[in-house]
């Protein structure tokens, strides 16, 4: 079950960023597309802004697939979605937590 939780600014750094944590997101194998030598995955969430900073954290059960796919720490945010990148097509679904910082 996917859950969304707003993290108070006082837990981060007062006045700097607001954060939303979305857990149990499944990135399916079929959602990745090969574009210019990298695999891309578009994740949609209305809380994502074009200026958002996105952290992707794999659940421990998905770590080996995450690592073998070579998921990059680089993301590209736009209004309502973020592109995730990987060097290789994942061999299975990856369950992640996504932190959205605005």
Q: How confident is the model at residue 93 (pLDDT cuts 50, 70, 90)?
A: very high
Q: Are strands 53-58 and 71-78 parallel, antiparallel or unpaired?
A: unpaired
The pTM of this model reads 0.82
**Considering the chain, what is the average pLDDT of its residues?**
90
Which tokens go with 40? 């891309």
- 3-7+16-101 CATH fold: Immunoglobulin-like (2.60.40)
User: Residue 19 has what pLDDT?
Assistant: 87
User: Residue 18 has what pLDDT?
Assistant: 83
Position with higher pLDDT, 43 vs 8: 43
**Cα–Cα dist 11/2, whole Å:** 22
For the chain, the C-alpha Rg in angstroms (whole number) is 14
Which run of H or E residues covers position 12? helix 9-12
CA distances from 90 to 27, 30, 45, 77, 86 (A): 9, 9, 22, 21, 8
The pLDDT tens digits of the residues spanning 42-74 come to 999 999 999 999 999 999 999 999 999 999 999
- 18 Cα distance to chain centroid: 16
Q: How confident is the model at residue 91 (pLDDT cuts 50, 70, 90)?
A: very high
Question: What integer is the mean pLDDT of 88-94?
Answer: 98
């Amino acid at each position: 079950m996917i859950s969304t939780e707003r993290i108070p600014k006082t837990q981060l750094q007062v006045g700097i960023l607001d954060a939303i944590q979305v857990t149990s997101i499944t990135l399916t194998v079929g959602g990745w597309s090969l574009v210019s030598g990298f695999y891309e995955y578009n994740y949609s969430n209305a809380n994502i802004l074009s200026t958002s900073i996105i952290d992707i954290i794999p659940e421990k059960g998905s770590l080996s697939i995450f690592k073998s796919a070579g998921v990059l720490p680089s993301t590209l945010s736009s209004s309502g979605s973020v592109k995730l990148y990987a060097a290789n097509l994942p061999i299975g679904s990856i369950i992640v937590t996504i932190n959205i910082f605005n």
